Amino acid sequence: MLYDDNPTLVGIDKKIDEARQGEALFWEEQTPGAERRKRFYIESYGCQMNFSDSEIVASVLAAEGFAPTRILEESDLILINTCSIREKAEETVRKRLRIFDQVKRKRPGVLVGVLGCMAERLKKKFLEEEKLVDIVVGPDAYRDLPALVAGAEEGEKGINVFLSREETYADISPLRLDGNGVSAFISIMRGCDNMCSFCVVPYTRGRERSRDAFSIVAEATELFERGYREVTLLGQNVDSYKWLNPETEKTVSFAELLEMTALVHPDLRVRFSTSHPKDMTDEVLHTMARHENICKYIHLPVQSGNSRVLGLMNRTYDREWYLGRIEAIERILPGCAISSDIITGFCTETEAEHQDTLSMMQRANYSMSYMFAYSERPGTPAAKKYADDVPEEVKKRRLNEVIRLQNQISLRHNQADIGKTFKVLIEGDSKRSELEFKGRNTQNKVVVFPKAPGLAPGSYAQVRIHTVTGATLIGEIVA
């Protein structure tokens, strides 16, 4: 799972709301002549890949003369980029569609489109049954969006959910929706070949295909030249990245791509997400150790701490393998922070197996986790083969135990940083005070500290930590 790296510890719902609010701070003032052109409004839900895809969509539409707007009621085209990872996320999207329908009733001619994973999964249901949507576009069909919009303007219902084995959008320069101008996502691959039994991603995003390594490095270079100081390389499983260079007939691995990106400039920080435990190699870890600007933070989803449950999930590793990866990270990258995804109440999970997950959390010492109660998704192998037999009250009680433990571990993890000095990339003002900056250290932890002359977003500062909470380090600049 590729969830946005805000240090929220209670799951996706609060996170997607915060991310959507942040995304809404975009662009009319950056688009000369916007008032003379048709306007589009876009909301994104779910994983980082969805937010990255929305930037691709924005670029495709801008090339056709559309201007972005953050004002829903003034838009001519309303788009919602969707997530199918949990039933709750789909319910949220349906609520938003009903609100969009009210806008359509007041302004005839407004079009509504559903993009992303729900678009692929539900397809014609949106157009024929719910009648709230004019356009349905899957993750591999965004180039077709202008034609579908033109057809919808003539009264046609537009749908394209074709899954491609080649599409990577490598030639499209994303129109950045994030207003901080400091951090940006770069998609390095699309799709997933890991058939985890609980997951819809292989069915909504298709098979894995990797993007041209040189186009990735070129995008990172262009971002640095524009003032960005951090890029996150995105993929459902970045460790399985492999691109065959047609000129040399050699395959570029993820470790090699990581180094190529780090060499763009020493002041460009490099992050990546997400790693699959079965594919993370020591070569990647040694590459991280060689380059100071590759952040010492790894999101390594465990999902469960019990080998039998991992087998039912088809995660293709067991508890011992995962612990071996934790030990390798600790050996090669001392001080590296590790975060995780955890599912409670998967099919047939026993109380003892739940305890194995809690013990795994203690051993791995996660700096933070994204935690969920199991939500059966239609069409997945788990839905077809296993009974969703853990009562909801048991799922929720186990989830609360996981959240409570993670909060304790996160606080302890942060307390260990008191007295340490970190190089912090300044992202902007603190939420609490315009007299303070916030930024992140190499471990992806949020750091808050008083402003000082000569510093601005995109600058680096050395900050000594004197106080912490479970989610934040608080410090002061040192010489």
What's the alpha-carbon Rg for the chain, to the nearest Å?
Answer: 22
**For position 94, what pLDDT does the model report?**
84
148 burial (CB, 10 Å; 0-12 / 13-18 / 19+) is buried
**Whole-structure pTM value:** 0.85
- Going residue by residue through the chain, which has 479 residues, state the pLDDT in tens, using 9 for 90 and above: 343 333 322 333 333 343 333 344 344 444 444 445 899 999 988 778 888 889 999 999 999 999 999 899 999 999 998 877 677 777 888 889 989 999 988 888 899 999 988 877 776 677 665 678 899 998 889 999 999 999 998 888 888 888 888 888 888 888 887 668 999 999 999 999 999 999 988 888 888 999 999 999 999 999 999 999 999 999 999 999 999 999 999 999 999 999 999 999 999 999 999 999 999 999 999 999 999 999 999 999 999 999 999 999 999 999 999 999 999 999 999 999 999 999 999 999 999 999 999 999 999 999 999 999 999 988 899 999 999 999 999 999 999 999 999 999 999 999 999 999 999 999 999 998 999 999 999 999 999 999 999 999 999 999 999 999 999 999 999 98
- CA 190/CA 216 separation, integer angstroms: 13
**For position 205, what pLDDT does the model report?**
83
- CA 301/CA 172 separation, integer angstroms: 30
**For position 15, what pLDDT does the model report?**
34
The pair of structure tokens assigned to 464 is 């000594």
* Contacts of 382 by beta carbon, 8 Å cutoff, 6+ apart: 197, 198, 312, 313, 346, 347, 376, 388
Angstrom CA distances, 241 to 213, 274, 278, 393, stand at 10, 11, 13, 40
**For position 129, what pLDDT does the model report?**
59
The pair of structure tokens assigned to 17 is 């709301």
Domains of the chain and CATH, by start:
12-160 (3.40.50.12160), 183-415 (3.80.30.20), 421-477 (2.40.50.140)
Of residues 247, 249, 238, 174, the one with CA closest to residue 210: 238
